[in-house]
């Protein structure tokens, strides 16, 4: 890829990419430990081995090519410190009170909205249950009326009397 890295770091990366699972690094902690050790022991700064252009943030094309320097030995770079796992994180203690209040208000608003959605869902289910119950009662009433009509029809046929309607 045109990038030269110290052999120690390359060995750690290759170890993590072994084909056989049993030969790979067994955990992220182990990987970080090996990588930090390799970076601490490496006296070189990784650089590109091919020519690259200087990037102008105001342009989308690379500017003229500059002179590329080769690897140079550097004493005690503390290169591993730049890979601190917690670097760039913000703790709750570092947040100011206004931001804490905003986060709290947002969480409370979210909880209220969620409770409102749940209440609306429960009400919709209750309305559906009432509608099903009313429909079942209507069907039961219609079935009872049909049975009464059938009974009267059979009774009048047996007795020979005409069917009378109730007033």
Report pLDDT for 1.
52
How far apart, in whole angstroms, are the C-alpha atoms of residue 55 and residue 64? 9
Over the stretch 106-141, which tens digit does the pLDDT of each residue have?
888 999 999 999 999 999 999 999 999 999 999 999
Q: In this predicted structure, what is the pLDDT of residue 139?
A: 95
- Give the Å distances, CA to CA, from 61 to 3, 57, 120: 21, 9, 56
Low-confidence ranges of the chain (pLDDT < 50): 63, 68
Where exactly are the structural domains of the chain?
Answer: 3-50+72-89, 90-167
From 71, 64, 61, 84, select the one nearest 5 (Cα to Cα).
71
Give the pLDDT score at 38. Answer: 86
Per-residue pLDDT, 153 = 85
Whether the full predicted model's pTM is greater than 0.75, yes or no, is no
């Amino acid at each position: 890829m045109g990038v030269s890295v110290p052999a120690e770091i390359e060995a750690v990366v290759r170890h993590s990419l072994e084909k056989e699972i049993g030969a790979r690094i067994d955990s992220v902690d182990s990987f970080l430990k090996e990588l930090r050790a390799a970076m601490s022991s490496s006296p070189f700064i990784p650089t590109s081995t091919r020519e690259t252009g200087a990037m102008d943030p105001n342009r989308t094309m690379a500017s003229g090519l500059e002179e590329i320097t080769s690897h140079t030995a550097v004493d005690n770079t503390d290169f591993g410190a730049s890979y601190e796992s917690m670097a760039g994180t913000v703790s709750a203690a570092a947040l100011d009170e206004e931001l804490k209040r905003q986060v709290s208000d947002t969480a409370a608003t979210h909880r209220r909205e969620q409770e409102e959605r749940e209440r609306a869902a429960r009400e919709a289910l209750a309305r559906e249950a009432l509608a099903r119950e009313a429909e079942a009662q209507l069907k039961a009433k219609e079935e009872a009326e049909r049975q009464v009509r059938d009974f009267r029809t059979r009774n009048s046929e047996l007795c020979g009397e005409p069917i009378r309607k109730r007033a």
